[in-house]
Amino acid sequence: MRFLDDIPVVLSAARLVQPLKDAPGAVTIIDRAMIRASGARDVAELLTWVPGFQTGRKNGSTALTTYHGLSDDAPRRMLVRVDGRSAYSPYFISGIEWAKISVDIDDIERIEVFRGSNAAAYGSNAFLGVVNIITRPAADTPRYRVRLTEGENGIQERVLSTRQQFGDVTARLTVGRQGDNGLAPIDDTYRNQRVDARVDWQLTPDQEVEFHLGFADGRARTGLTTDVSDPARSVDNYTGFGQIRWRKQLGLGDEIKATYFHQEERAADAFFVPLGGGLGVPVNYGNRALRDDIEVEHLIHPRGDLRLAWGVGLREDRVSSTQIFNTDDNIIVRQTRLFANTEWQVSPHWTLNAGAMLEKTNETGLRLSPRFAANFHVVPDTTLRAAVSRAYRNLTPFERQADVRFYESSTGTLVRQSFQPSPGLRPERITTREIGIRQEWQSGRSNIDLRLFDERVEDMLRRITSPSNANPAPVLNTNGETPHYTNGGYARIRGAELTGLYRPTHDTWIGGHYASLDINSNDEFADRSAPNEQFSVFAAAQVLPGWHMSLTHHFVGSMQWYTQDKNRLKAYRQTNLRLAHGFAARGLRGEIAVGVQHWTDAFADYLPSLTRPTQAYATLRLEY
């Protein structure tokens, strides 16, 4: 989509290409120009531009992102998709592991963030929201591209990308390495290596195939030199995937597409805990997870004012970790799904959206997640909208079956059980009601959007302790009690989100957002898991010919990540500044940029003891 040619559209809200004013909810779009101007080194940093999001760093390599709170150090109530592939990792604890995404930030065309439950389109993992990452077609990338970054706190990045044409086939290959020294004062240096490839094959004028391949391999420091039960060590994580997507145009805007992907994740994390007297406990958090997923989707236009996207999908997950599940067997989760989303242009003033996702797993049975939305265009550029939806979140194998036991190596004695199974859990359930108003001008490129929402989460998981299910009881468990989950939680999330953007040209804008949020829950940790207020301002402009400057400023009110008792974070501000100079000569295009991240006093966004330092950096980009 060329910026000045068409009205900005959203591609993923209801699996239909829609003008933003017709979408069944509030959507934030971050395009390629915004991504570059931000100076962000990964997608997680960009979500500070989205109202209602909380971001943090558990350590140097682990970014935390959640929408509307309710998250501990393993966010799992929102979905991330990359070119139609679920990047959600619902195997062990966390659902979103940003370091395992292989796509380079310069290969991203746009990011669409649907704010609110979108299970009707994408299933149970889209419980509170969806981040859709859409990469650039291979043909729309430079023949050669290099990016080099150096900065304070050990910031270092090397990226090389090439695009090649072979008849009707266009291929892009991007390789890179990234890392820094993490947070103060812990030892959490990390280095990630990534390879990502996209191949676009135009079979016929109306038929194409995309191949996506990639892997991310990370080594990170973790643990504490002062804690023998969690010693300082290196942890290795690997994720690799292969995806094929076939698409055929059927005429009159109709389309059919099929997507299959295979993904493998594995981790190596083993150490030994001495108990004295020659005794000790071997610990091995190593794990492996395999996912196979196939989906067929059909877009049809039954008549001129009606569009329908429907499809079916199958998925199988195989998970293994002897330490986490107390078994050498694979845990297998199979899911089938049937979905449909429709848009009806009732009149020039009314657009109706309706959809539903029917899901069934071998652990939770059948669940239906419906949604209905109505958009009333008071005048062409002013839209009122209202939506109601119900969604379920299927639980992870860890939440249901974790049985973490530690045995003394020579005697086989059960020393400790740090988590026990939670049988009989029901899926979490959310009912969302929202209303909003959207005002557009400049053909939609500039806008103001207000979202008012009421989200009720029921059967929410809570962590409690009960006598251990192990027999004999573990030696070191206090009072014989061990943590596990129960469905006893409830939360009501109410508030407002206001966004605004004035963008007279592609590279010039000023925008911002404000979010007010209130959580009432029967769990005191949930009540404090999001700030009551937060706001951001971001601006970019050409200050001199060839010189471009951007500035972002964020305020986040006091909050506390879920379960982090007595670790309430102070309100903080952070400012990021970037100045870039572009140049060109004989087919070579380049940019030199300098920037400062966290241009404030040191602040903490996960634990009060872990601070984010001010970091200056310089980046050189070359394209040919």
Residue 497 C-alpha from the chain's centroid: 20
**pLDDT tens for each residue of 286-345:** 999 999 999 999 999 999 999 999 999 999 999 999 999 999 999 999 999 999 999 999
The pLDDT-based confidence of 93 (bands split at 50, 70, 90) is low
CA angle, 261 as apex, 259 and 265 as ends, to 5°?
155
**pLDDT tens for each residue of 42-90:** 899 999 999 999 999 998 888 999 999 998 888 889 999 999 999 877 5
Residue 469, in any domain of the structure: yes
Residue 99, in any domain of the structure: yes
| CA pair distance 520, 233, nearest whole angstrom | 40
| CA pair distance 68, 194, nearest whole angstrom | 31
Residue 493, in any domain of the structure: yes
Please give the DSSP secondary-structure letter assigned to residue 559: B
Residue 1, in any domain of the structure: no
pLDDT in the model for residue 83? 95
β-pair type (547-556, 572-585):
antiparallel
Q: Look up the domain containing 326 and give its range.
A: 9-225+237-623
pLDDT(379) > 60: yes
Residue 211, in any domain of the structure: yes
pLDDT in the model for residue 188? 92
The pLDDT-based confidence of 586 (bands split at 50, 70, 90) is confident
Domain count, the chain: 1
This prediction's pTM: 0.95
Residue 398, in any domain of the structure: yes
- Average pLDDT for 469-476: 88
**pLDDT tens for each residue of 112-140:** 999 999 999 999 889 999 999 999 999 99
Residue 291, in any domain of the structure: yes
pLDDT in the model for residue 4? 34
Handedness of CA 7, 13, 17, 23 (dihedral sign): negative
- Average pLDDT for 16-21: 95
CATH of the domain at 535: 2.40.170.20
Full DSSP string of 462-490: EEEEEE-S-SSPPSSSGGGEEEEEEEEEE
pLDDT(563) > 80: no
| CA pair distance 559, 539, nearest whole angstrom | 27
pLDDT in the model for residue 225? 83
Kind and range of the H or E run holding 323: helix 322-325
The one-letter amino acid at 352 = L
Residue 231, in any domain of the structure: no
The pLDDT-based confidence of 1 (bands split at 50, 70, 90) is very low
Q: How many CB atoms lie within 10 A of CB 494?
A: 15
pLDDT(458) > 50: yes
